[in-house]
Amino acid sequence: MAFDLRLTKQLGETRIEFALEAGEGATVLFGPSGAGKTSVLNMIAGLLRPTRAMSA
């Protein structure tokens, strides 16, 4: 399954912007502590409402 996803969320003074164009196969999300990985996963899961979202 392939998908295109763009998310933006303002959390206090921190702005999270995430863009992904995933093709077939596994997709991995990694980065340093506090980078927003959990917030991105929560937005994808519907547990956190993004300020702006676009998908195709």
Question: What pLDDT, in 10s, does the model give residues 1-56?
Answer: 677 999 999 989 989 999 999 888 888 999 999 899 999 999 999 999 999 888 76
* Residue 54: per-residue pLDDT: 84
Six-digit token pair at 53? Answer: 């979202």
Considering the entire predicted model, what is its pTM? 0.82
* Residue 19: per-residue pLDDT: 93
| CA 52 – CA 23 distance, rounded (Å) | 22
* Residue 49: per-residue pLDDT: 93
Q: Are 49 and 40 in contact (CB under 8 A)?
A: no
* Residue 23: per-residue pLDDT: 84
Please, where are the H alpha helices in the chain?
37-45
